[in-house]
């Protein structure tokens, strides 16, 4: 009488490990994306503050050098915002790919679990048929051993 194949449970466990791996990767990517979005908001607020300062009447003490420095700083803030926006787009792309990989891993896990369950049911049916055959043989033997037969 055959036993359930271990390969299906091993493959199901391996697929489960892949699901967990991708879930961890997605969690890390979501955290990174949240950090990038928070950085972008901080940069935007800082830029807005400096723009407001520039719109207000400037004291004469700031001078041309001060105004130039402020404009350069604002230009650097805009460059940083653009860089963070590119990083956000890249992080979103990576996250989308990871989600796709997670879906594939979950499908593979489900498939392996199904195969393992099918194999276990087949083994159980085979055992039940074997046991029924033994009971039938025992009943026939009893019948044949009956007195007067």
Query: What residue segments make up the domains of the chain, in order of their start?
Result: 7-113
The most distant pair of C-alpha atoms in the chain lies apart, rounded to whole Å, by 129
pLDDT reading at 69 higher than 90: no
Whole-number CA gyration radius for the chain:
35
Q: What percent of the chain has pLDDT over 90?
A: 74
Average pLDDT over residues 76-81: 96
pLDDT at 146: 85
pLDDT reading at 92 higher than 60: yes
Average pLDDT over residues 67-78: 89
Residue 105 · residue 19 · CB < 8 Å: yes
pLDDT at 59: 61
pLDDT reading at 61 higher than 60: no
Closest to 51 measured CA to CA, from 79, 82, 78, 86 = 78
pLDDT at 147: 84
Quick one: pLDDT band at residue 4, thresholds 50, 70, 90? Answer: confident
């Amino acid at each position: 009488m055959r036993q359930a194949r271990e390969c299906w449970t091993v493959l199901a466990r391996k697929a489960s490990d892949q699901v967990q791996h991708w879930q961890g990767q997605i969690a890390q990517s979501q955290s990174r994306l949240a950090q990038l979005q928070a950085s972008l908001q901080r940069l935007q607020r800082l830029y807005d503050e400096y723009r407001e300062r520039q719109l207000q009447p400037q004291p004469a003490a700031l001078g041309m050098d001060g105004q130039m420095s402020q404009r350069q700083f604002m230009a650097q803030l805009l460059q940083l915002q653009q860089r963070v926006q590119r990083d956000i787009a890249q992080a979103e792309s990576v996250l989308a790919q990871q989600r796709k990989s997670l879906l594939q891993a979950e499908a593979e896990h489900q498939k392996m679990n199904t195969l393992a369950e099918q194999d276990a049911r087949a083994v159980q049916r085979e055992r039940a048929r074997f046991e029924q055959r033994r009971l039938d043989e025992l009943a026939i033997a009893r019948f044949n051993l009956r007195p007067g037969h």
